[in-house]
Amino acid sequence: MLAELASYVPATLVTTCPHGLRASILPMLFDPDAGDQGILRGHLARPNPQWRDALSDAEALAIFNGADAYVSPAWYEEKRLTGKVVPTWNYSTVLVHGRLEVRHEPEWLVEHVRRLVERHEARRDQPWSIDDAPDGYVETQVRAIVGLELRISRIEAKRKLSQNRSGADVDGVIAGLSAGSPREEAVAADMRKESPRR
């Protein structure tokens, strides 16, 4: 689930600092073959003080939130049968724990940006490449960022997709969400993956 979510949603990176907690939203790339449980790689703008939190060797948390949506009890078959229903929220999320390492090396930063661009441009008909930029331009721009590697110590994947409901209730939720917004439709698609018979 981490590889899937990290491929299209940014992470919320949470760290501790002397004044409490800090959080930033940033795209991260998951490398499952590095380290014992993999490594997440990302970057922050150099003026963002959060990268300095990594220097304390404290644990960090990267949160990847997938699709989520309100679930109306009106969609449950159980409502018609007993009326004993309440609303809820369906969601998918992955919590990634680990320690951060700061990367300043220009070669590392350029390669990281290259991989990030390739990941997100791959869906385009005419993908942009960092090689399209003038010579030396990207190398100049990466001076404004700081690289981060999160060495993963623990991964918690959580999905609440009406697994506790009857098949008829799940069908009702999928139908209700499918008639809603794109965000709701995405939750319905996740539910179909969890329950392939639907």
Chain segment 156-175, per-residue pLDDT in tens: 999 999 999 999 999 999 99
Rounded to whole angstroms, the Cα distance separating 112 from 31 reads 12
pLDDT at 8 (0 to 100): 72
138 located within any domain: yes
Rounded to whole angstroms, the Cα distance separating 65 from 94 reads 7
Q: Report if pTM > 0.75.
A: yes
pLDDT at 79 (0 to 100): 94
pLDDT at 24 (0 to 100): 97
190 located within any domain: no
**In the chain, where does DSSP find H-type helix?**
2-6, 50-53, 77-81, 106-121, 137-141, 167-178, 182-194
With a cut of 50, list the residues of the chain below it in pLDDT. none
31 located within any domain: yes
What are the pLDDT digits (tens) for 5-38? Answer: 777 789 999 999 888 999 999 999 999 999 889 9
105 located within any domain: yes
Structural domain for 23, as ranges: 2-67+91-162
From residue 62, how far is each of 11, 76, 158, 175 by CA, in Å? 6, 34, 14, 32
192 located within any domain: no
pLDDT at 57 (0 to 100): 79
pLDDT at 128 (0 to 100): 95
81 located within any domain: no
182 located within any domain: no
96 located within any domain: yes
Residue 13's domain is classified under what CATH number? 2.30.110.10
Place of tokens 């179909």: 192
Q: Is the dihedral of CA 69, 2, 106, 59 positive or negative?
A: positive
Looking at the 3D structure of the chain, how many domains does it have?
A: 1
Q: What is the DSSP string of 149-177?
A: EEEEEEEEEEEESSTTS-HHHHHHHHHHH
